[in-house]
Amino acid sequence: MARPVVINRKRGRGNPNWGKPSSIPLLPTEFELQVRRLQLTKREYVTSAALKAWCQRNRNRLYVPEWLLEEWEMPVDIIFTLIH
């Protein structure tokens, strides 16, 4: 009786780039862009009236750091729609 032939082949399963750094550039959030426009340092975030007003208008639809919302005691609406 003949023995079966076993061939070692690497199967092409899974993502070969898993765990490697992404080559896609990370884009800044709208919050980060606003901070740049206002030329603020992280220490100035809490005291900036312009940033606070921007966050008040956009807190339900754009990223605003949680620690900053907590500092200003600004609640975020969990259910928010653009249709009024």
pLDDT in tens, 27-67: 999 999 999 999 999 999 999 999 999 999 999 999 999 99
In a domain, 19, yes or no: no
Q: How many Å apart are CA 13 and CA 6, to the nearest integer?
A: 19
Q: How many Å apart are CA 20 and CA 59, to the nearest integer?
A: 33
In a domain, 39, yes or no: yes
Structure letter (DSSP) for residue 75: -
Expressed as residue numbers, the domain containing 38 is 30-71
Number of domains in the chain: 1
Q: How many Å apart are CA 57 and CA 51, to the nearest integer?
A: 10
The model's confidence at residue 25, banded by pLDDT at 50, 70 and 90, is: confident
In a domain, 65, yes or no: yes
